[in-house]
Structure 1
């Protein structure tokens, strides 16, 4: 019974994300090359997608597998909108963001060490 509820929860997250992106069910089905009935059954938890189909759904909906499986909105505490924004950045922008994050980590590491006397 618990596994069935997990598929229903995953289906609800697929449906919710699809609607958030303003994608019609028929459009998602077409982009995945499956029938409208099949994506409807996945969204309602009546059918489970194959691994390949699951990964295609993640790609089309621009979400991580852990979001659809577990409902984690944040991948390693990174808000989804930041992750999505990074997808639009050039390689140079990603490198710059990486350097900036390294500076923040270094700064916060020192602050944490000072507060915790390590």
Structure 2
């Protein structure tokens, strides 16, 4: 699978919301050409613009940045996601109960 960059994730999320680049640009008070450059990967949004894009698209920063940031933490989360997807619903419920019990025990 092709690696999705920040710009590609913004593009996919925008399209998933059924809005055009012009509409998103207008909502974020930027030029549509600049947005297309961000989506194309040739420009990187400033932090304030990135936050505005997240809010406008109702997308978490983690989702938009997941392919840009590779930390041990994100790798562990991906491993857990893969295990979670393989588990049956009843096994998932058991895992939740076990985690809740373990966390409660640690807090006591």
TM over 0.5: yes
For residue 98 of structure 2, the aligned residue among 98, 101, 108 is: 108
- The 5 Å alignment of 1:88-107 reads 105=96, 107=97
Note the C-alpha offset of 1:43.
Answer: 0.3
- Asked whether 1:16 is paired with 2:6, we answer no
Note the C-alpha offset of 1:66.
Answer: 1.2
Aligned match of 1:54: 50
Aligned match of 1:30: 26
Relative to 1, partners in 2 of residues 1:109 and 1:15: Cα closer, same or farther, differing over 3 Å? closer
Aligned match of 1:85: none
Note the C-alpha offset of 1:110.
Answer: 7.5
Q: TM-score of the superposition, structure 2-length normalised?
A: 0.60
CA distance in 2: counterparts of 1:110 and 1:65, whole angstroms: 26
Unpaired runs of 5+ residues, structure 2, are: 68-76, 79-94, 103-108
CA distance in 2: counterparts of 1:36 and 1:69, whole angstroms: 21
Aligned residues: 78
Q: After the TM superposition, which parts of structure 1 deviate over 6 Å for at least 4 consecutive aligned residues? A: none
Unpaired runs of 5+ residues, structure 1, are: 1-5, 78-103, 113-118
Q: TM-score of the superposition, structure 1-length normalised?
A: 0.56
| Greater RCO (Cα-Cα under 8 Å, separation 6 or more) | 2
Note the C-alpha offset of 1:70.
Answer: 1.1
